[in-house]
Every structure is written in structure tokens, then in C-alpha cells.
Amino acid sequence: MVSATVVRGTAVATALVSLLTAPAHAVSGVGKPGVTAVDAQSDAQSDAKAGALPAPDVTGVWNVLRTARRQGAPGAIARLDDRGSVHWAAVGVADRRTRRAISNADRFRIGSVTKVFSAVVLLQLADEKKLKLDAPVNRYLPGLLPDDRITVRHVLSHRSGLYDYTNDMFARTVPGFEAVRGKVFTYRQLVNRSLGKPRTTKPGGAYSYSNTNFVVAGMLIEKLTGHPVRTEYRNRIIEPLELTDTFYVHPGKKIPGRHTRGYLTPDAAGAALVDATEQTVSWAQSAGAVISSTRDLNTFLSALLGGRLTSKAQLAQMQRWVPAGSTQAYGLGLRRRDLSCGVSVYGHTGAVQGYYTYAFASKDGKRSLAALANASNNGALHNTMLTTLESAFCGKRAKKSGRAPAPVEGHEDVAPGITLETDTN
């Protein structure tokens, strides 16, 4: 793991001693002017003594990435920003053909972390009095939904009962993907795929994850602003925060600039990985089509939780939690994960063909972690990558039970009605 901290305009870089024994091809650090690579845990250790977050276990994060490689990911990366200190690691390759090393400079598809972007735009519109969270969706999109009781809040908290159309779309992983990777859908076509199925709960009922909800969110954004979601993401989030690696390219298929390729694990054990990098992601759009980097994701979540993107009142609305599993809850487009040391972190996971993304921050946004494995449809890999949160936010206090982590609910972010493939070949 490389550890870095900002030091007055100098640009000297020195690796941690722990890196000296690591294979040269396995780790790459990406810095920027004004960064010196030193051990930067002292501030966090002081905070830990004062009862704040435990000091991060940066070596533990790096070890998780190495495990992810053994479980089938061609590459894995992580970046931890902690009160001005930066730690980063990269293990493996971004491209299986060229063998180029993966790096935190790489862009990638963030999948359902996109939902946080969509929720932020709608909460800003609520701040601007253009939207009421407890108003029916049909007030803004007349006749779209079959039940006037479904509110904007229900949609953003996955309590609308709208069936997730991706359950059927990706019932067979690779054939389902190949059938849609080049297609361009309208929002209404995606919603209609959901409305052809029975609803999963009454409006305001139990949490039931559905990508349909955030397709509706995209429709709301476009109706209320008169602009494509691309424009609203750019004007309200990307440009104000100077997120230079963050894009919404739909319906384009390519990731601009330097990027890691993504590899989809077939359902059949032992089958070759499928390069899923180029696709429209039109099947997800405002539910999952944003491209970003670990640096930009940390900047985004730190700004959100630090109160820089919405009013205090709307941020509080975003954190009105409903149960969403034994160790997590869901707000409005935001997950809360409860870790073994009693710390809770806030953000989202993202699953899109070829990429697993993890983007979470502390309550105050002052510590943030973004991590990626460039493979998907691999349950063991997904559960392993989730443990980056334990190392980053619990440090050495993370409980080491010796048992496998509790399984997540299905794909968590894509096709929750389907069981994850757990073969590690």
C-alpha cells in the first residue's frame, strides 16, 4: 500500500517500507504535485485516542486486494482519503490482453453508485422548491405509475414496490448482457418492463431494491429541469467539485481516457471471463451508467456528507434509514453499512458488468474509501472486497472471526432476485 500526505508544495515521493517487499508489478501509486509518500496514520491515531474513528489499517486494505486477485479479479484498486492524508494501492492488471498494470488513475464504470448522484440532484431540486419528497410521482410524471400513492420518497428509498426489470434481463448472465450491451432504451421502455410484473410491496412497504426506482428518478430529473441527466450531473456535481474523471456518456459505449477494462464472470464454472468494457449501459442509465475514478468518488462523498451539496435539512432526509439487511440500512439513494467495530459508513456499492465498486465515507465525510475490482458476478469476490471497509474504518479493531463474511443479498445492486455466482475460478 502506498501512503501519502499533503506537504506544502513539495513533490517528493518515497514508498512505505512495506512496499519494498511487494512485487513491482503488483502495486502502483498515483500521486499529484504537493504529495509526499510517508506514513500518514499519526493524525488518525490521535483521533482514535480521542474516541474518533480507529486508525485505518492500510496494510489490511492492501491484503484484501491481493485476496481479490486470487479469487478471480484481474485487478483491484483502493484509495483512502483521511483528513488530508491519502493512501492508495493497486494490484494486478487493467487489461488482460496487454497486461498493463491497474492504477488509481484509471477510470471505470461505477454502477449503482450512480444512484447517489441521481438522489443528490433530486434533493437539490427539493431545496429549490421544485420537488416535494412526499408528493406522488404521478404529480410530476402524470400517468407513469399505476398507483398515485407511490411518492418520490418511496422511489428513492426502494419502497415503491416497483419490480426490478433487471431480474429478467440478466437471469442468464452473459447471454442477458450480450443481448443489451449495444441497445439504447428509453426510460419509459425500461419502466414498462417493470410494470408488466406484479409489485413487490405496497407503497411505503418494506425495502426491496429495484433499479426501476432510479430510472423513475432520472425521468423526474429530466422533467423538472428540462435537461438530460448528463447536464444536471455536470452542472450540479461534476463541475462544482472539479471531478475531472467523472462522465455520463450514455448512449456512447466507450470509457474516455485511461481506464481499466471490466470482466464479466460467466455462470458456468470455469468458463473464460468476458470483456464487458464497451456497452451503452442503457439498461441502467440514471440507475447505473456513470463513469468515475477512486479520487473523484472520495471527493464526491466527502462533499456530500460534509454538507456541500445539499442543505442540512435535505441531507438529513437522505439519512432517514429503513432496514435493508442485517448489517445495513437504506436512506434516499444512500446506503449505511454497520461495521464490526460499531462504526457506520455511508455511500453505495455498485455492480455493473465487469466492475464491482465500493464507495463509502464516515458520517462527517472526513474519511472516505473508494475501491474497485474489475470483475463481476463473483459472490466470493464481492464479499471479500466489502472487507476493505473494515480495514479502512475499523483498522486493527476489525473483528477477525476466521469465518467467511455473511453473504450479501443477491447482486445487491443488479438483479437482486438472482443468486450470485460464488465459484472463484
CA distance 203 to 209: 13
Cα separation values, 131 from 59, 123, 128, 151, 302, Å:
45, 8, 8, 11, 25
CA dihedral 360, 278, 171, 164 (to 10 degrees): 50
Q: Give yes or no for a contact between 352 and 281, defined as CB atoms under 8 angstroms apart.
A: yes
CA distance 6 to 36: 6
Grid coordinates in use for 214? 432510479
Grid coordinates in use for 174? 452473459
Grid coordinates in use for 422? 460464488
CA distance 48 to 135: 43
CA distance 355 to 277: 9
Cell numbers 438529513 correspond to what residue? 316
Could you please report the per-residue DSSP string of 198-264? --SS-TT-S----HHHHHHHHHHHHHHHSS-HHHHHIIIIITTTT-TT-EE-TT--SPPSSB---EE
Which of 28, 85, 103, 112 is catalytic? The answer is 112
Pairing of strands 322-323, 328-330: antiparallel
Max intra-chain CA distance, the chain = 63
Q: Give yes or no for a contact between 229 and 286, defined as CB atoms under 8 angstroms apart.
A: yes
Question: What does the DSSP 8-state code read for residue 59?
Answer: H
Q: Give yes or no for a contact between 125 and 311, defined as CB atoms under 8 angstroms apart.
A: no
46 carries an active-site annotation: no
H helix and E strand count, the chain: 14, 16
Report, as residue numbers or ranges, the catalytic residues: 112
